[in-house]
Amino acid sequence: MRKRLQLVAGAAVAAAALAAGIAVRWDARTDRVQAESIAAFTRTELPDLAGHLTSLERWRGNVVVVNFWAGWCAPCRDEIPGLVRIQQKYAANGLQIVGIAVDSAAKSREAANELKISYPVLIGGVETVDLTSTLGNPVGGLPYTVILNRQGQLVGTHLGILTERELERLVRPLLG
């Protein structure tokens, strides 16, 4: 009886160890996939409002806040003035906000002018919403914000309006 109990206990320990090993390998794989997705995202070239192709790599070394928005999105429009103020307040400390517009170039230019957006805006088009799913936005909602540290690593995401106070709380520690 005692030998049988030892076998059952040993089997349970082996099963737990296997499960833990699978979980650790899964987490490592998930981290690798996420890192690959972020690297691909930061290398993706998109046109700016003037039509020049650029990628987020341009701002490597800065804390980069990427805000997916559209001119037709009321919450996006409400959020943008706070983003403009945060950009102005922390630009000298290495903060770069970049808007990625999920609309046509003409409509994005019109909305950016109307909203007095002073940070760079790239044109992603509607297909960019699919890209946000690889960055943690499975529902494709707007506004959607991604925060990258100075090394280009994803350190935060936010679906919905990110208030000026919340954004400041998130980025200030990253700026040093």
Sequence spans of domains, the chain:
46-175
67 confidence band (pLDDT: 50, 70, 90):
very high
CATH superfamily of 46-175: Glutaredoxin (3.40.30.10)
Q: Which amino acid appears at position 110 of this protein?
A: E
Residues 97-137 pLDDT 10s: 999 999 999 999 999 999 999 999 999 988 888 889 889 99
Asked if residue 174 has pLDDT above 80, the reply is yes
Question: Per-residue pLDDT tens for 138-171?
Answer: 999 999 999 999 999 999 999 999 999 999 999 9
